[in-house]
Amino acid sequence: MLSFTAQVGYHLRHRAAEDSTLLKPGARLGSYEIDSPIGAGGMGEVYKATDTNLKRSVAIKVLPAAVADDIERLARFQREAEVLAALNHPNIAAIYRLERSEGTTALVMELVEGEDLSAVIARGPVPLVDALPMARQIADALDSAHEQAIVHRDLKPANIKVRPDGAVKVLDFGLAKAIDPAGGSSVDAMKSPTVTARATEMGIIVGTAAYMSPEQARGKAVDKRADIWAFGCVLYEMLSGRRAFGGESVSDTLSAVLRDPPDWGALPPSTPMGIRHLIERCLERDPKLRLRDIGDARLELAVPSAGPDDPSHPRTPQRGRRIGRAGWIALAALAGAIAVAAWPRSVQPAADVARLTLAQTSGASLVIGDATPDLSISRDGRRIIYASRRLDPEGARVSATQLLSRRVDAFEPVALPNLGQNPHAPFFSHDGAWVVFQTSVGDQLAPVLAKAPIAGGSLTALCPLARLDDLRGASWDDEGHIVFATARRWAGLFQVSANGGTPVVLTTPDRSRGELLHVWPDVLPGGAGTLFTIMREDGNLAIAVLPRGATTWRVLVPDGSMPRYLADGHLVYIVRGVLYGTGFDLRTLTVTTPPVALVDGILTKDTGAADYSVAANGTLAYVAAEHRDALSRVVWLHRDGTTDALPLEPKPYRAAHVSPDGHRIALSILDHGVSGLWVFDTTNDGFTRVTPREESVDDFAWSPDGRRLVFWSNAQKGLFTIAADGGDRSEKLAGTDSGRFYPTAWSPDGRTIAYIQEYPTLSLFGVSTAPPHAVRPLASGVGAQVEATFSPNGKWITHIDFEGGTPEIVVGPAGDATRSWPIAPSGRHPTWTADGRGVQYLDGPSISRIAINPDSGMPVGRPVKVVDLPRTSRNRSIEMSTDGRFLILERVDEAAGPSEIRVVLNWIQTVRTKLAGEAEK
């Protein structure tokens, strides 16, 4: 390849001898007739020509000799040109074809009339009112190309055309890479000057170097962030009328690029702070700190702040930061004028806001999930569907979940039948005729996304889900698609046909930005885009929008969750139990007004999931944050049916397990959404917290010597062991990025811990407690396997198997995953007797026991009932102490969840009034 100096000399010589090197007017290249020269540079000589076949004007770029004479480079250029020809964007000059004729190779391109941006800037700084629309079009062009993994590599004013009508066209997309022999980021190729008829040769040389990113100048590999740097240079130059980095020579310019800051004082004083901040982020020398996506720039350019003291974009309200009253009055007046002009003549008076409460029938309560709301309102605001459970007359036993449908004007709800096992997380179809939800159907517990008609009918499975509580929100668009989210770490949004099929990935969280999940989507009208929530690894939440057809998204609100769009142009979302509203432009997908608090006290979990739903007409349904977790007490159940309460105050206990010696009890206690692990010593009534306050623990098991506990860490995504007295640091045994593990038992010899792996299917595994902590399967079959326990002699292991369609306790050799046999159909929570000669289990409302031969592991005889459980029992496990007592949790109140839904009819009037009031301040 020619060196940089040789290329400069080549073009200067050929410009000096123009009459002998340039194609003459009238010359032919295939079907193209040359009209006149336009210019020349490192990318080739450019002519205006006529396509004699289609009778249109085109631009012909004759490739440099260094390319045309190299067969290998020419073949690669052909491939690159084919890729570039796939670009189709109104702000990108199109490539029509690669023409070869009589030894000359040329690109045929769209002819863009008008002057290039360098000529516009030469007349002085571009006014802000003109510069921002131009910059937005440039950013749109870059964003479109970057989505197809095409990088310009030589963006500068000379490669940007401004048509007389104000439209902007970016030229020479990707040609720097196409001409570079390595296809990468050769410094020589990048320094190739672009020669025009207006500029001096030296000025053009310096000008090209002035837009290189630092990594380009050092000859390193580049990506789309090099274009973002160049975009910042161009925007700076448009506003200031001078280059961000300049010098008398190429060396001086490159030195400024690598070391000197731009003269920020050269920007006009009226430049909004948001625009200044945008340029600063584009011109970060460290690519890791630079603006990552040009799409993020489009938000600021679309709705820039009005002045240098304004915030760069609307955020959660902060004291003392508010757009001036005059500005918002003007904006409100303009919006009002537009609304009056567009509103039908027969406008009716606004309906009054009405508030009502939909109470549950006696003994029923709403289901409150930690991750996804179990409440949805139809688009027309007439019907609400929600998940409910029922308590028996004594207020203790909780039924399975069912979905209830209730018209807002009806006295009673209607249960939807035949929806599988424990359906939850419902939402309406676009037309309100269907309900979509997560459930378990068929002969396994494997969950599915399913739909069923509201009017009644059979269930239709749409696609499988990975775990029993996998769904993290969904939205049915008006084109027959469902966008949904799951609980898998680093999983984004998926789209599936409303008729079922294979889901398509729409987004993947950006781990470099700390993104963990994309959840709670809301598809905008007309498919303009999808709103969703970004859950970050640090626990923070943000609201983003994915434009239609795009693969990149941008943040709209830096602190919030569960966005919902209202039909009249408002966006509502949750911030720590408060529902906020703001203006939203559906055309530009941008926030247009400051946020205003609308409703306080909506039930919101630590995950950011809130139990609220808004209809398209603005009717609001929500659950108030007055719910408290049900309290229980820890009791011993004797075989005669009597109970003795332990000296512990009632708390929201989640699970309890007895130590092997029977003297200590490990407890999971819910406290502000976090389940801490505690140990109670019955010999001295001591109560010790084992895990840190921020650690949430739901599943755990004792070691055989009673000295340690194994638990699943929600925070660290792994199985850990820790001293039962909390006296040492935890030790990690195994982990996963998808789903979670449920530890169920520790083998008697202390060498193996049994756990349930949640993803991709519920399966039983064992992990060695000795390094390197090898993992092996403990059960065979394709059905879900849960609740494993070891026999006291360590030879056998029991677990629940769902392979036959119903839960069944099976037993098999602990060291052989290929064999097992059933011992108790429909049983749950198996535990071995202390002598190893029986298995006791939950059998409906009772505890039953079946004898087991400790040598063969085979059942002996028939099951017998041991004791009836109190009707107030709410056990997740049934364990027997060494003295034959059973440890259970007993509910002390009837509150299994909230019992009413609050509905605000015509709530949109409240939104309009409050936003208008904020605008007038």
Yes or no: say if 566 and 614 are a contact pair by the CB < 8 Å rule.
Answer: yes
Interacting residues of 723 by C-beta distance below 8 A, sequence separation 6+: 690, 707, 708, 709
Residues comprising the chain, all counted: 921
C-alpha distances out from residue 626 to 363, 611, 629, Å: 18, 12, 10
- Give one DSSP letter per residue of 168-184, joined into a string: EEE--TTHHHHHSTTSS
Q: What is the DSSP letter of 226?
A: H
**Cα(278)–Cα(455) distance, integer angstroms:** 53
Q: For residue 214, which phi and psi values (nearest 5 degrees)?
A: -55, -35
**Cα(586)–Cα(565) distance, integer angstroms:** 9
Catalytic residue among 116, 140, 143, 154: 154
Structure tokens, 567 = 């039909």
How distant is the alpha carbon of residue 912 from its chain centre? 30
Which residues are registered as beta bridge partners of 474? 484
Structure tokens, 180 = 């570079």
In terms of Cβ atoms closer than 10 Å to its own Cβ (0-12, 13-18, 19+), residue 727 is: exposed
Q: For residue 87, which phi and psi values (nearest 5 degrees)?
A: -70, 130
- Which pairing describes strands 886-891 and 632-637: parallel, antiparallel, or unpaired? antiparallel
Sign (positive or negative) of CA dihedral 780, 781, 786, 787: negative
Secondary structure element (H or E) that encloses residue 358, with its range: strand 354-359
Q: For residue 661, which phi and psi values (nearest 5 degrees)?
A: -85, -5
Taking Cα atoms as reference points, which of 907, 919, 778, 900 lies closest to residue 360? 900
**Cα(375)–Cα(396) distance, integer angstroms:** 24
**Cα(364)–Cα(159) distance, integer angstroms:** 68
**Cα(212)–Cα(235) distance, integer angstroms:** 14
Interacting residues of 731 by C-beta distance below 8 A, sequence separation 6+: 720, 721, 722
Q: Is residue 402 classed as helix, strand or coil in its secondary structure?
A: strand
**Cα(747)–Cα(769) distance, integer angstroms:** 10
- Which pairing describes strands 481-486 and 828-832: parallel, antiparallel, or unpaired? unpaired
In terms of Cβ atoms closer than 10 Å to its own Cβ (0-12, 13-18, 19+), residue 794 is: middle
Structure tokens, 195 = 């020669």
Tell me how crowded residue 511 is: count the other CB atoms within 10 A of its CB: 11
**Cα(563)–Cα(524) distance, integer angstroms:** 11
Which residues are registered as beta bridge partners of 494? 484, 505
**Cα(709)–Cα(360) distance, integer angstroms:** 41
Q: Is 154 a catalytic residue?
A: yes
**Cα(555)–Cα(551) distance, integer angstroms:** 14
Yes or no: say if 736 and 716 are a contact pair by the CB < 8 Å rule.
Answer: no
Half-sphere exposure of 722 (CA within 13 A, CB side): 25
Yes or no: say if 905 and 309 are a contact pair by the CB < 8 Å rule.
Answer: no
**Cα(237)–Cα(160) distance, integer angstroms:** 13
Which residues are registered as beta bridge partners of 785? 801
Yes or no: say if 365 and 386 are a contact pair by the CB < 8 Å rule.
Answer: no
Taking Cα atoms as reference points, which of 539, 549, 543 lies closest to residue 531? 543
Which residues are registered as beta bridge partners of 431? none
Question: Which positions are catalytic?
Answer: 154
